[in-house]
Structure 1
């Protein structure tokens, strides 16, 4: 990666910085939302100056010292100068630096914060410009166009280890955490999917029409959807009971055999009016060409709902946690979700939820009062009908709307941000990078992450420790084509490799 020196200066020593843009914030934990914001700043001015709020701030609790926050910011190599404020005196920084532009997050457009309002007045009085920008939203990355895989891998590993250092997480703690999972029982409720991968050889372009011609070589079926979440949980050593609906077909019979082989207890309700959801993906090497789905996404009949509810009431009695894995194929009706919430509250059981709607119409905000929600950024924006706010604001809004205790905001190739409401009511967050640089198949990354988070939290482990384990788990899952259960041995091997890479 290219070097870019960042100067760190006290507010007392800073002077005028010509052709500059001034950004401002706490930067309690530097995450992709901050990166987007600062990249926008670089496009506006020649010099990017970032004012970091001091340790004595009254508005937000600082989990790390100003020095630590400034050091993390400097590692991004996006700021030319970092200014250390005594408190929140942005107006003083403006008076001294005289920036052409002050760049604030979009949440400040209608601010009632007196410090921000005074700073805006000062900037306008001096003839400067105030802009509001959360940074451009991307659901993919272009890093490989500018850097080698080795460089990106090393940088992401370094970020992961720095995150672990900030959270006082050691390798032996991660290993020890996995030993506590054997006595944990998780119930998984969700849509069963059979994923078929058809390996093909590309022959060329058809002379009849502009379409690619391929020759089918072989195919292989994988159990996916909520069933792979259950499979991960069992493979990692926890106990698991699986509740779902399937059709009366061969795919259902195959799923039953696989669940038995994997030692997963289950209630599979057969519905003769619908097929088992089946997705066929055509691939050349590790490049997917297209997908064909066979499904029926109508809501369950009241009779089938009754059968699911009966299974829920029986299985919840001995569970430590419940995973709701909704692919929006009709299983998780409002009545069933309500019953899950009532039963979980009655039995004092943790709830972990994910609503995956890449090709379906779903809404993560329908899951209320869950211990943990795991949406991706697009799903969160759709649920909130908000395409403009920064990722931090989106996350806060979703937590408020759903009353979730914890949140993992998945950001694709940028990793994820873990949010946790502390005992004092403060919302703490920490970003985790995507450790895999050039993944083979990202289809099951979120499912593997959800599995680890559910086991860890249900076992009584701390949020950020679970997040570090989930980061390693997801990077292991994407290195395989198709949904393959990740074992505890696989996860431990990954942890060892990550911590050994920089030793």
Structure 2
């Protein structure tokens, strides 16, 4: 079995030799997370199409079937496949799809299962690219005809991937929603015009190696190895929406010298329209985090910031811009990081608009003790972290649901959602019984930005009148997706989200 497991560099040479001997090469590609009878029949039929059957698998880092997947890592999946008599060689792919692999191996046949005959059912759209690749190298795509099973369905039914709370929640979602209906609902958001308001923040990550204690002072000494910068703050929220809504606008502030403007313009998606004002005597906000390069744990944070309030002239310019932009958009998402951009006057003005307003007012190291949500009122949707709720209500601990209902009443919000990290989130509408959604994150790389992802997707879902439980489910999966990458390096991807939902509902 071991001799069947090879790497991509070796397979190209082996296949070239086999083809020179007149052998017909068949390539199959997939995740093959839980090997089952459907796979076995698929491989047997594929082998009958030629002489040598080569199987490539998607490596762990590119599997997007949802949290906790793959259930079996790359090494175990390779070992399982190598045990099948019909397979001659198996290897781990280097890319998300087989497109590049096809060009390297140049098989005679690229074989897929019967569920891929209808290319429109492939959420990624990559099957079309793979068909083009096999035709380019002179081969053809063929499909097996035998019965099919779903690894996701079997794992959901017989595996131990989810808690009982997860299973009950997903069962209720599946009872009232088909995947097709959810896909249509998400697709209907593309025509929404969304205005995002909040601070522009550059998240800077300085990856370091710890050298040890200074020889003369009680100071930890680090060696900086690499610096990466990402679009954070309100920019991150706009980016999370960009794959779902065709028209997203941002109203925000840069520092008086417009620092990072070109960096932002180069990194932002084309369907995000930037509207920047400048704040006097201020830099563009940079939140610098020193991170251990090995375990990716944060060691120290240093902020470049002036969090004093806007002056009267800047405040007037903001209100003028908001007046114009809000009339052109369907809903407004406000993320108030408490750095002086949204004054009490601006908060009151935003609250009085007749647009759907969704709000997150965050507590952080720079504003704790001074930042309050109560400058807002008559909000459609408030999203708040459990610790922020306790801080706002001046409670050390307490019943989160009772506190949420109390705050909802104080600021006259139609919805309030409280996030609880790994324990999920709950949402109150006009009823006194909350919608509870478990957390879905499994591998947490970085929690920065997860609340922004949830805010973005929950806002557009509730505005679109998607059921509360489904809205919270979609938003929670978006948050789970965001914590799988460092900082705000990647916005929520619609295809990945849909594939996750699809696999949960099987």
1:264: how far off? 1.0
Aligned to 1:350: 356
1:386: how far off? 2.4
Residue 227 of structure 1: which of 230, 235, 244 is its match? 235
Aligned to 2:500: 494
Mapping of residues 52-201 of structure 1, within 5 Å = 154-156=161-163, 158-167=164-173, 168-201=176-209
1:261: how far off? 4.2
Within 2, Cα distance between the matches of 1:300 and 1:339?
A: 15
Say whether residues 1:375 and 2:384 are aligned partners. Answer: yes
Within 2, Cα distance between the matches of 1:258 and 1:418?
A: 37
Q: Deviations over 1:68-105 (max 9, x none)?
A: xxxxxxxxxxxxxxxxxxxxxxxxxxxxxxxxxxxxxx
Aligned 8 A contact 2:239 2:269 in 1:
no
Within 2, Cα distance between the matches of 1:307 and 1:480?
A: 36
Residue 372 of structure 2: which of 358, 363, 369 is its match? 363
1:394: how far off? 1.0
1:323: how far off? 0.6
Q: Which runs of 5+ in 1 are unaligned?
A: 1-151
- Alignment CA distance shift 1:154-1:457 (3 Å): same
Within 2, Cα distance between the matches of 1:313 and 1:325?
A: 18
Q: Deviations over 1:210-245 (max 9, x none)?
A: 443322111111111111111111133342111011
Q: Give the secondary structure class of the aligned counterpart of 1:374.
A: strand
Aligned to 2:128: none
Q: Give the secondary structure class of the aligned counterpart of 1:492.
A: helix
Say whether residues 1:417 and 2:426 are aligned partners. Answer: yes
Mapping of residues 246-265 of structure 1, within 5 Å = 246-249=254-257, 251-254=259-262, 256-258=264-266, 261-265=269-273
Aligned 8 A contact 1:164 1:170 in 2:
no
Within 2, Cα distance between the matches of 1:307 and 1:465?
A: 39
Residue 275 of structure 2: which of 246, 267, 271 is its match? 267
Q: Deviations over 1:418-476 (max 9, x none)?
A: 2221xxxx333122122113410001000000000112122232222111100110000
Task: Give the TM-score taking structure 2 as reference length.
Answer: 0.64
Within 2, Cα distance between the matches of 1:260 and 1:414?
A: 32
1:298: how far off? 0.6
- Alignment CA distance shift 1:221-1:371 (3 Å): same
Aligned 8 A contact 1:236 1:486 in 2:
no
Within 2, Cα distance between the matches of 1:236 and 1:462?
A: 18
1:154: how far off? 2.4
- Alignment CA distance shift 1:172-1:231 (3 Å): same
Over the residues paired in the alignment, what is the CA RMSD in angstroms?
A: 2.2
- Alignment CA distance shift 1:316-1:388 (3 Å): same
Aligned to 1:460: 465
Q: Which runs of 5+ in 2 are unaligned?
A: 1-158
The structure with the larger Rg is 2
1:166: how far off? 3.1
Instruction: Report how many aligned residue pairs link the two structures.
Output: 341
Within 2, Cα distance between the matches of 1:407 and 1:173?
A: 26
Aligned 8 A contact 1:153 1:435 in 2:
no
Say whether residues 1:428 and 2:433 are aligned partners. Answer: yes
Within 1, Cα distance between the matches of 2:446 and 2:171?
A: 30
Aligned 8 A contact 2:239 2:268 in 1:
no
Aligned 8 A contact 1:235 1:486 in 2:
yes
Aligned to 2:491: 485
Moved more, 230-239 or 183-192: 230-239
Within 1, Cα distance between the matches of 2:252 and 2:177?
A: 36
Q: Give the secondary structure class of the aligned counterpart of 1:215.
A: strand
Q: Give the secondary structure class of the aligned counterpart of 1:392.
A: helix
Within 1, Cα distance between the matches of 2:504 and 2:213?
A: 42
Residue 333 of structure 2: which of 308, 323, 331 is its match? 323
1:384: how far off? 1.5
Residue 307 of structure 1: which of 298, 317, 324 is its match? 317
Within 2, Cα distance between the matches of 1:406 and 1:274?
A: 35
Say whether residues 1:218 and 2:223 are aligned partners. Answer: no
Residue 449 of structure 1: which of 447, 454, 458 is its match? 454
Say whether residues 1:473 and 2:482 are aligned partners. Answer: no
Aligned to 1:396: 405
Aligned 8 A contact 1:276 1:295 in 2:
yes
Aligned 8 A contact 2:231 2:264 in 1:
no
1:278: how far off? 0.6
